[in-house]
Amino acid sequence: MTGPTDIHAYLAELEDIPGTRVYTAARARHGYWLNQFAMSLMTAENRAKWKADEAAYLADWPMTQDQRDAVLARDYNRLLDLGGNIYFLAKVFSTDGLSFLQAVSTMTGMSVEDYSAMMNAGGRSPDGLRSKKEPN
Amino acid sequence: MARITAGVASSHVPLLGVASDTGKDRDAYFGPIFSGYDWTRRWEADQKPDVIVLVYNDHASAFDMSIVPTFAIGCAERYKPADEGWGPRAVPDVEGHADLAWHIAQSLILDEFDMTIINQMDVDHGLTVPLTMMFGRPEAWPVKVVPLAVNVVTYPVPTGNRCWMLGEAIARAVASFPEDLNVQVWGTGGMSHQLQGPRAGLINDTWDNAFLDAMVGDSDAARWIPHIEYLRETGSEGIEMVMWLIMRSALGKTTRALHRHYHVPCSNTAIGHIVLEPVE
């Protein structure tokens, strides 16, 4: 055993990473219906209903209006802030026919071409992006 | 008695499944990834394992947010490939080994691991992509599989130390199964990758290779790596590497590396793969 962990220190550290929203229990609670909506797109029948009328489909889920608006706008950074998790949101962008790389690039402020070129050149370095408090 | 003869670790990027399913696995982009598994495919064909205890994570496929099991073991006879939003992969159903799975489940619970038992689920790319990488495109998978799903999505995920202890307990469970079975343990996921936010695309080849080094030999240092280090150094989804620790510890005190492969990138991810055998 490693002994009890200080949960407050543990959770505070998770918020110290630049450009990252760790899917904590707090986010999971906030985003519960958003993520459950996204899961519903795992059947062909629901994907057809969704594509026919996205707003009407969303109206059937007890999500906040902010969450609905962000889904319609495909604003994935906003959806992370509203409790979305990328593996759930993947059902939305997969239904749109986007790959993980295409969808993920939209959160970085880079064009998909520039993002793809960065990945092919070895990816984004962690240098300077390890901590908000102590840039290193 | 059943015996654990080897451990295999591999990334499980969904795009690898797409590449294999659409015949692109030897093109300019995917060739350098798949060629790193050629040695393993020949070796697996020679080894002919009976069962794989396949440690993986479900990516919002079998489990939605209504139930989040930390450690879950599949005890079913059969698993179908999941529809992850673009239709199920056209790969064979995965055949379980219910006798061994139930034996491991009971043994783990008596060993004080509070397992969730799954009798029905679909399996997503986390499980089927490693099968593709190791066995190609057969009519039927040549092994039975005991799926062991770990929550690495909703925090807190299990600690590295807890994963290490679970691997040790799996080894004890397999060793007490009376049937003579050749069992491998696979740990999947990783290596460095971040799929979310402005920091997406993070790759850390130095850290990844040090982690690969740590799988080999008699050190258990990797079990003490805290979550925050995976997050800072390997991106938010690099945490999947805690699942490699279950594989590594199931092999006992000391391991030898038979094969190793590392490649950047595949989609947003660093591909890592290692084949280990226990050293008595």
pLDDT value of residue A1: 53
User: Is A59 within 8 Å of A37 (Cβ atoms)?
Assistant: no
> CA of A109 to nearest chain B CA: how many angstroms apart?
7
B183 Cβ under 8 Å from any chain A Cβ: no
Residue A104 is nearest to which of B153, B200, B228, comparing CB atoms? Answer: B200
pLDDT value of residue A134: 79
Residues of B taking part in catalysis: 125, 193
Report whether pLDDT(B29) > 60.
yes
Give the whole-angstrom CA distance, residue A47 versus residue B86.
10
The CB-side HSE value for B218 (13 A sphere, CA atoms) comes to: 4
pLDDT value of residue B110: 98
Q: Are residues A81 and A91 in the same domain?
A: yes
| Domain with A103 in it | 99-129
Q: Are residues A28 and A54 in the same domain?
A: yes
Q: Which of B23-32, B77-86, B119-128 has the lowest mean pLDDT?
A: B77-86
B15 Cβ under 8 Å from any chain A Cβ: yes
Residues from chain A that touch B197, judged by Cβ atoms under 8 A, are 19-21, 77, 80, 107
Q: For residue A104, what are the CA distances in angstroms to A44, A66, A121, B147?
A: 23, 21, 17, 28
Residue with tokens 């451990």: B7
B209 Cβ under 8 Å from any chain A Cβ: no
Q: Are residues A34 and A47 in the same domain?
A: yes
Q: Are residues A60 and A114 in the same domain?
A: no
In SS3 terms, B144-165 reads as EEEEEEECCCCCCCCCHHHHHH
Q: Are residues A109 and A70 in the same domain?
A: no
Q: Are strands B122-123 and B3-10 parallel, antiparallel or unpaired?
A: unpaired
A19 Cβ under 8 Å from any chain B Cβ: yes
Q: What is the pTM of this model?
A: 0.97
Q: Are residues A73 and A47 in the same domain?
A: yes
| Phi and psi, residue A117, nearest 5° | -65, -40
* Count of structural domains within chain A: 2
Give the whole-angstrom CA distance, residue B242 versus residue A10.
17
User: Is B126 within 8 Å of B55 (Cβ atoms)?
Assistant: no
Quickly state the pLDDT bin for B85 (edges 50, 70, 90): confident
Q: Are residues A111 and A73 in the same domain?
A: no
Residue type for A129, please?
Answer: L
pLDDT value of residue A5: 87
Quickly state the pLDDT bin for B12 (edges 50, 70, 90): very high
Note whether residue A121 is domain-resident.
Answer: yes
Residue with tokens 């059937």: A60
Q: Are residues A26 and A90 in the same domain?
A: yes
Q: Are residues A59 and A114 in the same domain?
A: no
**Taking CA atoms, what residue in A is nearest to B203?**
A123
Mean pLDDT of B219-236: 98
Distance of CA A22 to the CA centre of its chain: 10
A44, burial (CB in 10 Å: exposed 0-12, middle 13-18, buried 19+): exposed
Note whether residue A55 is domain-resident.
Answer: yes
Q: Give the model confidence (pLDDT) of B135-183 as tens digits.
A: 999 999 999 999 999 999 999 999 999 999 999 999 999 999 999 999 9
**Taking CA atoms, what residue in A is nearest to B63?**
A39
Which two tokens mark B154? 């909703």
Q: Are residues A84 and A43 in the same domain?
A: yes
Is A32 close to B65, i.e. CB distance below 8 A? yes
Note whether residue A134 is domain-resident.
Answer: no
Q: Are residues A109 and A63 in the same domain?
A: no
Write down how long chain B is.
280
B178 Cβ under 8 Å from any chain A Cβ: no
Note whether residue A17 is domain-resident.
Answer: no
B42, burial (CB in 10 Å: exposed 0-12, middle 13-18, buried 19+): exposed
Report whether pLDDT(B84) > 90.
no
Q: Are residues A63 and A125 in the same domain?
A: no
Note whether residue A71 is domain-resident.
Answer: yes
pLDDT value of residue B87: 81
Note whether residue A11 is domain-resident.
Answer: no
Low-confidence stretches of chain A (pLDDT < 50) are none
Q: For residue A78, what are the CA distances in angstroms to A109, B197, B198, B206?
A: 13, 9, 11, 32
> CA of A9 to nearest chain B CA: how many angstroms apart?
11
| Phi and psi, residue B3, nearest 5° | -140, 140
Residue A100 is nearest to which of B195, B202, B227, comparing CB atoms? Answer: B195
B50, burial (CB in 10 Å: exposed 0-12, middle 13-18, buried 19+): middle
ipTM over 0.90: yes
pLDDT value of residue A2: 63
Mean pLDDT of B52-58: 97
CATH architecture of B3-279: 3-Layer(aba) Sandwich (3.40)
Note whether residue A4 is domain-resident.
Answer: no
Write down how long chain A is.
136
Determine the 3-state secondary structure of B258 from DSSP: strand
Give B267's contacts (C-beta < 8 A, 6+ positions apart): A99, A100, A101, A119, B13, B14, B15
Provide Rg for chain B, Cα atoms: 17
Residues from chain A that touch B228, judged by Cβ atoms under 8 A, are 13-14, 16
Provide Rg for chain A, Cα atoms: 17
Q: Can you say whether residue B49 is alpha, beta or left, with left for phi > 0 and alpha for psi between -120 and 50 degrees? A: beta
Interface of B with A in 38-67 (CB under 8 A): 59-61, 64-66
Give A122's contacts (C-beta < 8 A, 6+ positions apart): B203, B205, B264, B265
CATH number where A71 lies: 1.10.700.10
Residues from chain A that touch B64, judged by Cβ atoms under 8 A, are 35-36, 39, 88
Give the whole-angstrom CA distance, residue B11 versus residue B88.
20
A80 Cβ under 8 Å from any chain B Cβ: yes
Looking at chain B, the whole-number percentage of residues with pLDDT higher than 90 is 96
Residue B159 is nearest to which of A2, A18, A120, comparing CB atoms? Answer: A2
The helix (H) or strand (E) run that includes residue B262 is: strand B254-266
Domain boundaries defined on chain B: 3-279
Residue with tokens 């279950």: B246
Mean pLDDT of B176-194: 98
Mean pLDDT of B188-207: 98
Residues from chain B that touch A123, judged by Cβ atoms under 8 A, are 192, 201-203, 264-265, 270
